[in-house]
Amino acid sequence: MPPAARELVAGPCMVAGLLLAGCSSADLQVDDAPPPPSTPELRVEVVTDGLHHPWDVAQAPDGTLLVDERAGDFTAVLPDGAVREVAADLDDLFALGETGLMGLALDPAFDRNRRLYSCQGDVAGDVRVVAWTVADDWSSAERVPGPVAAGLPVNDRGGRHGGCRLEFAPDGALLIGTGDSAEGTVAQDPRSLGGKVLRADVASGEVAVWTTGHRNVQGLAVRPGSGQVFSVEHGPDRDDEVNLLRAGANYGWNPDGGGSYDESVPMTDPAIPGAVEAVWSSGQPTLATSGATFVSGEQWAALDGALLVALLKDQGVLALRLDDAGAVVEQFRLPELDGTHGRIRTVQQGGDGALYAVTDNGEDDELLRITPGS
C-alpha cells in the first residue's frame, strides 16, 4: 500500500482546501491535504531502468519515449518496448553538478521534420539550446549547425543553477527557462540571459527575454486551452515557487550582495518595483520542485486539469488545482509516488494520455509510466 498522504495544516487562508478572498495563493503552504475522494488510484509501471541522472522525457507521435541523462546520453524506448541508445555527438558537453544535458523538447512538426531540441552545458563556457535531427529508426541524432540559443551563463566552478527547461508555447515560440548560475547580479541584469524565461524563434534564431528575476527555473508548463504559462523554480532555504508568467514581468529574485551571492534574500524581493508574487510557494522547508505538466483527460477524474509538479528532495509529485485566473485553490500529493520511487526530476503527459516521469536518484534510475487504475 502507498504511504498515506500527510494531513493539511490549515492556515488562516485555508478552509477545506479552498482559497479565501483577500488571501494570496502564495500563502498556501505544502502541508498538503489528502487527495479528493474522486482521485483515481494510479498504476505506476517501470518502463525502463538502469538510467543515471535522467533529466527529461518526451514522447514522439509514434509513441517512442526519448529520455536524456545529465552526463550525456539519449535513450529511446520504442513502442514495442525495445530500448535503444541514440548515438549523438556530445563531445562538447559541459557536465558538472547541476549542469549537463538537461531539458528536451520535440518540434511541434516532429512527425515531418524529426527535429529535437536539447538544453546543455557547453565547454565553450555557456549553456546552449541545440537542435538535432533524429534518424527514422531512432539509432542516431545529427546536430543541426549553429545553436538555437547560446550565451546562457554557466557556473564553471560547480555547475550550480544551470536551469534549463524547454517548452513550446501555443504560438510556436520555444520557451527556455534558465538558471542564474549562482551569480548575484544575473537575475536582474537585462543584458544577461540567466535567471530568465526566454522566447526563441527556432527558425530565425531570434532570442528575446520574456521574464526576469528567476533563481533556477526547473519547470515550464502550458495550461491547455488558456495560453497561460507557469514556471517552477527552486528557492534557497525556503520558498520554492510556481509562477504565472506574463511578458515583461519581474519575479523578484535579487541576491546581489555587493559582489557576493546573498541567498538570505526573499525569493520575491518587495523592494523591486512591480515584483510579481508566486501563485504557490512551498514555505519552509523547500521541496526542490522540478519539472511540471498539466494533466488532461476525463479518465483522470479529479486530476483532470491539475498542474503536477515533480519533487526532488521531498520525493514525489504535488498536484495543484488552479482557478481560471491561475490562483491555487487546492493542493495534495499523489500517494502512489510519495517516497516510493525516490526523487522525481520530471513529470510529463504524453500524447497517449499517460503520465511519464523520470527519477533522479543517481543509481539505477527509472522511467515510469503512470495511468489511472481500473
pLDDT in tens, 156-196: 999 999 999 999 999 999 999 999 999 999 999 999 999 99
Rounded distance between C-alpha atoms, residue 212 and residue 194, angstroms: 9
**What's the grid cell of residue 274?**
512591480
Count Cβ atoms within 10 A of the Cβ of residue 145 and give its class: 0-12 exposed, 13-18 middle, 19 or more buried.
exposed
Task: Write down the pLDDT at residue 363.
Answer: 85
pLDDT range class, residue 13, cuts 50, 70, 90: very low
Indicate if the alpha-carbon torsion angle 336, 338, 343, 346 is positive or negative.
positive
The residue assigned the cell 549553429 is: 146
User: pLDDT for 115-138, tens place per residue?
Assistant: 999 999 999 999 999 999 999 999
Q: pTM to 2 decimals?
A: 0.92
**Residue 20 neighbours by CB distance under 10 Å:** 10
Q: Which has the closest alpha carbon to 60: 111, 104, 102, 103?
A: 111
Higher-confidence position of 38 and 240:
240
Cis amide prior to 164 (ω within 30 degrees): yes
Task: Write down the pLDDT at residue 9.
Answer: 26
Tell the CATH superfamily of the 14-372 domain. Answer: TolB, C-terminal domain (2.120.10.30)
Task: Write down the pLDDT at residue 34.
Answer: 87
What's the residue count for the chain? Answer: 374
Q: What is the dihedral of CA 327, 235, 39, 46, to 10 degrees?
A: 140
User: pLDDT for 258-292, tens place per residue?
Assistant: 989 999 999 999 999 999 999 999 999 999 999 99
Rounded distance between C-alpha atoms, residue 219 and residue 178, angstroms: 10
The separation between the first and the last C-alpha atoms of the chain, rounded to the nearest angstrom, is 16
User: pLDDT for 185-234, tens place per residue?
Assistant: 999 999 999 999 999 999 999 999 999 999 999 999 999 999 999 999 99
Q: Could you tell me which residues come within 8 angstroms of residue 77 by beta carbon, excluding any fewer than 6 positions away?
A: 47, 48, 64, 65, 67, 83, 84, 367
User: pLDDT for 306-345, tens place per residue?
Assistant: 999 999 999 999 999 999 999 999 999 999 999 999 999 9
**What's the grid cell of residue 34?**
489528502
Phi, psi of 58 (to 5 degrees): -140, 145
Rounded distance between C-alpha atoms, residue 285 and residue 203, angstroms: 42
Task: Write down the pLDDT at residue 32.
Answer: 59
**What's the grid cell of residue 71?**
552526463
Q: Which has the closest alpha carbon to 307: 297, 319, 323?
A: 319
**What's the grid cell of residue 52?**
543515471
User: pLDDT for 14-69, tens place per residue?
Assistant: 333 333 333 344 444 444 578 999 999 999 999 999 999 999 999 999 999 999 99
Task: Write down the pLDDT at residue 33.
Answer: 79
